[in-house]
Amino acid sequence: MRRGGIQEEMGVDNDVLRQAPLFSALDDESMAALHASMSETKLRRGDVLFHEGDSGDKLYVVLDGKVKLGRTSSDGRENLLAIMGPGQMFGELSLFDPGPRSATVTAVTDATFASLSHEDLLKWLDGRPVVARGLLAQLAGRLRKANDVVADLVFSDVPGRVAKALLDLADRFGRTADDGVHVHHDLTQEELAQLVGASRETVNKALADFAQRGWIKLEARAVVLLDTVRLARRAR
């Protein structure tokens, strides 16, 4: 929970920004303008970028590494809304729906971000309806996903949600090899549990069960998916 090691500097690598779906379609001129108004931030694993309840109006794009967006209940339990990797954006909520940050963002690995202030974004947005639409699409996609999560919480049991989470992580961070899909998710089982809204123990048992069936192989902060078909079947 320590906060520290934050460094900022101007000037951000264009190429990585292009990875962000939101910015991928920009012409060079817009890109340069964007580029100029963004600054870079670095965090080490475990560092907190901002806390739920903080004020702040910056939008961040992950350049490298992974972060978790989490919320804490009144009695201290934690729940993860999402894991974000390179090219993904977060912090937009406070931009358009002013108010305190709705989640705490913590680096899951060492990570670097590009950030853009509310003011700069709006200035930069006005002349470019294409980008506005991109943002709308982005938010709409996130909303759709959030609704799916709700449905999963209501309809699926814990093993089902774990299976789904593994497949999702594999989709975004997995590398396919001969022996299966290697997924270095960098999450502890505790964090995985918070992501699917269950206790560490139950998630552990679900994972052990999948492993015993030969569907996955467990590694340190990683898994290898051996039978995605059965996993997917278990997920629905």
Partner DNA sequence: CACTCGATGTGACTTATGGCACGGATAGGA
Partner DNA sequence: TCCTATCCGTGCCATAAGTCACATCGAGTG
Which amino acid appears at position 75 of this protein?
Answer: D
- Binding window for DNA (CB under 7 A); candidates: 21-29, 33-41, 175-183, 205-213: 205-213
Q: Say which entry of DNA, its own copies, none residue 204 contacts (CB below 5 to 8 A, set by partner kind).
A: DNA
Q: Does 149 bind DNA (CB under 7 A)?
A: no
Residue 153: CB minimum distance to its own copies, A: 4
Q: Does 126 bind DNA (CB under 7 A)?
A: no
Q: Does 208 bind DNA (CB under 7 A)?
A: yes
Q: Say which entry of DNA, its own copies, none residue 96 contacts (CB below 5 to 8 A, set by partner kind).
A: its own copies
Residue (35 or 42) nearer to DNA, CB = 42
Q: H helices of the chain, where?
A: 14-19, 28-37, 93-96, 118-126, 129-155, 158-173, 189-196, 200-212, 228-235
Residue numbers at the binding site for its own copies (CB under 8 A): 71, 73-74, 77, 79, 81, 92-93, 95-97, 102-103, 122, 125-126, 129, 132-133, 135-137, 139-144, 146-147, 149-151, 153-155, 197, 236
Paired residues of 70 in beta bridges: 80, 104
Kind plus residue range of the DSSP H or E element containing 77:
none
Q: Does 199 bind DNA (CB under 7 A)?
A: yes
Figure out which of the listed residues 20, 62, 198, 225 binds DNA, where binding follows CB under 7 A. 198
Q: Does 201 bind DNA (CB under 7 A)?
A: yes
Q: Does 39 bind DNA (CB under 7 A)?
A: no
Q: Does 150 bind DNA (CB under 7 A)?
A: no
CA proximity to 108, closest of 30, 48, 55: 48
CA proximity to 101, closest of 151, 54, 47, 170: 54
Q: Extract long-range pairs of 228-235: CB within 8 Å, 24+ residues apart.
A: 228/167, 228/170, 228/181, 231/163, 231/166, 231/167, 232/163, 232/167, 234/159, 234/160, 234/163, 234/210, 235/156, 235/160, 235/161, 235/163, 235/164, 235/167
Site residues for DNA per CB under 7 A: 157-159, 188-190, 197-202, 204-205, 207-208, 218, 220-221
